[in-house]
């Protein structure tokens, strides 16, 4: 099986996406040229009705996401294009999206490990491998238990503590991972395979590929379905998607192992 979808792409709606070339038209053109059949725009979002945004999130409150949704679905494209969001988990049980907004978008992916946002996202109680592992599990289980996301992006990767990823995951038993991933499977929440699962010394990511592969193997074993995301913020980052083919081959994934996206917002707004 070859990867033919990318459900985690950013545009200028995300403040961290500063490339003038990352336009809707360019993204769709490049995706089509690369043989993709389906893509999803998933810009960062904080739209809680109870918790105020951080300064960084203030402008990413859903309004621009809905405008992007309207613009994309007003046109016909050569490939399937969905518009969703990447919602945030601030702490277990505190999420940056409401059910009302979810219903207006095509899909929701959720981050449950953006610990680099140290002044906004709850931090580990102990900065040790096991302390970070416990934090990852608490966030992950909360996110897949709440019914808001369609998929979890870069699962169990501790942003802000990149160099401790392998050590943290190694402290988690197969039983603990299976229990957490089993909740995702039971709730039909997809598990993303993302470039964060690839070593990158520039970001201090020098782990073995066996570390993310173990997570994905256990996810497959308990019945989780997978999705792919380049997490591209600029055109040159789309090449990262095909690097994920390693996991497709290592896991022997087939179409039956892929997450089935159900574009609720698309059905309601067309």
Confidence of residue 259 (pLDDT cuts 50, 70, 90): very high
Digit-coded pLDDT (tens) for 195-253: 999 999 888 899 999 999 999 999 999 999 999 999 999 999 999 999 999 999 999 99
The two beta strands, 89-91 and 94-95, are antiparallel
**pTM as predicted:** 0.95
Residue 29 is part of a domain; what is its CATH number?
3.20.20.140
Quick one: pLDDT at residue 270? 33
The helix (H) or strand (E) run that includes residue 88 is none
Which residues pair with residue 86 across a beta bridge?
44, 109
Q: What is the tally of structural domains in the chain?
A: 1
The helix (H) or strand (E) run that includes residue 138 is helix 129-145
Digit-coded pLDDT (tens) for 215-224: 999 999 999 9
Instruction: Give the residue from 258, 4, 38, 12 showing the smallest Cα distance to 151.
Output: 258
For residue 127, what are the domain limits? 5-269
The two beta strands, 190-193 and 151-153, are parallel
| The pLDDT of residue 50 is above 80 | yes
Quick one: pLDDT at residue 261? 79
- Span 71-94, mean pLDDT? 97
- Span 112-119, mean pLDDT? 97
Return d(Cα 16, Cα 233) in angstroms, integer.
7
Share of residues in the chain with pLDDT > 70 (%): 97
Contact 259, 219 (CB under 8 A): no
Average pLDDT, the chain: 95
């Amino acid at each position: 099986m070859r990867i033919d979808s990318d459900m985690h792409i950013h545009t200028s709606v995300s403040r961290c996406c500063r490339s003038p070339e990352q336009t809707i038209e360019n993204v769709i053109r490049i995706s089509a040229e690369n043989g993709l059949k389906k893509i999803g725009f998933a810009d960062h979002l904080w739209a809680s009705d109870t918790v105020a945004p951080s300064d960084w999130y203030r402008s990413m409150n859903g309004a621009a996401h809905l405008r992007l949704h309207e613009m994309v679905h007003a046109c016909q494209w050569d490939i399937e294009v969905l518009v969703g969001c990447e919602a945030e988990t601030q702490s277990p049980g505190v999420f940056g999206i409401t059910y009302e907004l979810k219903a207006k978008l095509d899909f929701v992916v959720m981050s449950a490990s953006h610990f680099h946002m140290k002044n906004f996202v709850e931090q580990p109680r102990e900065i040790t491998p096991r302390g970070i592992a416990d934090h990852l599990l608490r966030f992950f289980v909360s996110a897949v238990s709440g019914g808001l996301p369609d998929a979890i992006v870069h699962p169990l990767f501790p942003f802000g503590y990149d160099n401790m990823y392998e050590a943290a995951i190694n402290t988690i038993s197969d039983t603990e991972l299976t229990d957490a991933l089993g909740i995702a499977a039971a709730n039909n929440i997809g598990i993303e395979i993302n470039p964060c699962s690839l070593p990158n010394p520039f970001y201090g990511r020098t782990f073995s590929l066996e570390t993310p592969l173990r997570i994905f193997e256990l996810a497959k074993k308990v019945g989780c379905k997978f999705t792919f995301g380049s997490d591209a913020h600029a055109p040159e980052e789309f090449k990262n998607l095909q690097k994920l083919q390693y996991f497709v081959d290592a896991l022997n994934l087939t179409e039956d192992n892929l997450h089935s996206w159900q574009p609720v917002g698309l059905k309601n707004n067309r």
